[in-house]
Structure 1
Amino acid sequence: MFALPLDDHAQLRPLEPWQAQEFLDHIERARPTVDPWIPWATRSTDLESATAVLQRYADDQARDAGRIYGIWLDGVLVGGVMFRLFDAAVGVCEIGCWLEAAGEGRGLVHRASRVLIDWAFRERGMSRVEWRTTPANERSREAARRLGMSLDGVLRQTYPYRGVRQDSEVWSVLAGEWLGQEAPAAG
């Protein structure tokens, strides 16, 4: 297994089904800050449901369609980042994040997200990395902004969550922007 240092106390590592109990314990601590925004956090209420979330990402990774990574601070899982969607054939992926209060204010999500974006562009040749959030999630919107993403627009009432149709902001960064290259001419 690999571990990438994010700072002197934090690491980015794969998050796998065998870690479901640790993941569930973390989600219980994170619930006040992530439950309003992340449907799978709402559904992760016992070991079986937490395992199912991690297994879905393991299956996605096996199909090259998504991945999930945890952020550990001083050996404790405090958050993570993921490729929620990953379409190598089209060259577009979507990243997302979550963090419990114990990890806030350290720039961990920013550094972890940069690792994923950089890998998507440099190693996988993606053309576009997206970040989707509800307009009400100001912390997520600020994270996208700090990563240098541009707001492409708002998709109105795109999905139901807790009985309410939610809007979805679409943020993105393009390979040329991230890698400091000029965009190719339209042709």
Structure 2
Amino acid sequence: MWVRSLGEEGAELRPLEPWQAEEFLAHMDRGRALVGEYIGLADAVADLESSRALLQSYADKAAADTGRIYGIWCDGTLVGGVLFRTMDVAQGNAEVGCWLEPSAVGRGLVTQAARAIIDWAIEERGIHRVEWRAATANTASIAVASRLGMTREGVLRESTPHRGTRYDIEIWSVLAPEWRAARR
């Protein structure tokens, strides 16, 4: 298995796989309130069966080259993750997402992890456009998109229902030439 350091002592990024369903569920239980505030992941992972099913769905996406999921570990504990919710290599488009439990907030881990997978998608898989979608109220997620050098393209008004509320969703993106220029 590959492991990538995230620049902080003991912080690393590595694939999340179905055999880690129990660890993923425990992590989601620790972070459920924060994670579930704006994204459905906390509701989708409610028990061991749903945890395993979600991770299996991403293993299937990885096998089909249509998505991937990675965990962020600090000192051996799963504290968050990043993923390619969608990936269309033929069209050159991908959507990145993220989540963290409270113990890992404010350390730059998501920014470092997202930077690593975006680099891989652009340089190794030939992705041309990477999108980031976040509820307008999710200022932490929007701050990550900004730190990554993405451009805010617009807002999809009341487009996403979540727990009885319809959220406006901001769309941010970066194109491969912009990403490469900023990385130089």
TM over 0.5: yes
Give the TM-score of the pair, scaled to structure 2.
Answer: 0.95
Structure 2 counterparts to residues 7-156 of structure 1, below 5 A? 7=7, 8-156=9-157
After TM superposition, the structure 1 stretch with the greater mean CA deviation from structure 2, 99-108 or 24-33, is: 99-108
**Corresponding letter in the other structure for 1:152:** E
The answer to whether the Cα contact below 8 Å between 2:88 and 2:94 also exists between their aligned partners in 1 is yes
- CA distance in 1 between counterparts of 2:137 and 2:66 reads 28
Give the TM-score of the pair, scaled to structure 1.
Answer: 0.93
1:180 aligns with 181
Report the Cα offset of residue 105 of structure 1: 2.1
Structure 1 residue runs of 4 or more that deviate by more than 4 Å after TM superposition: none
Report the Cα offset of residue 101 of structure 1: 1.4
Aligned length: 181
**Does 2:8 align with 1:4?**
no
- Per-residue deviation, residues 50-75 of structure 1 (Å, max 9, x unmatched): 11111111111111110000000000
- Per-residue deviation, residues 65-112 of structure 1 (Å, max 9, x unmatched): 100000000000000000011000110100011111111222111110
Tell me the percent identity. 56
**Corresponding letter in the other structure for 1:61:** A
The gaps in structure 2 that reach 5 residues or longer are: none
The answer to whether the Cα contact below 8 Å between 1:15 and 1:68 also exists between their aligned partners in 2 is yes
Report the Cα offset of residue 164 of structure 1: 2.6
- CA distance in 2 between counterparts of 1:103 and 1:3 reads 18
**Secondary structure at the counterpart of residue 105 of structure 1:** coil
**Does 2:159 align with 1:158?**
yes
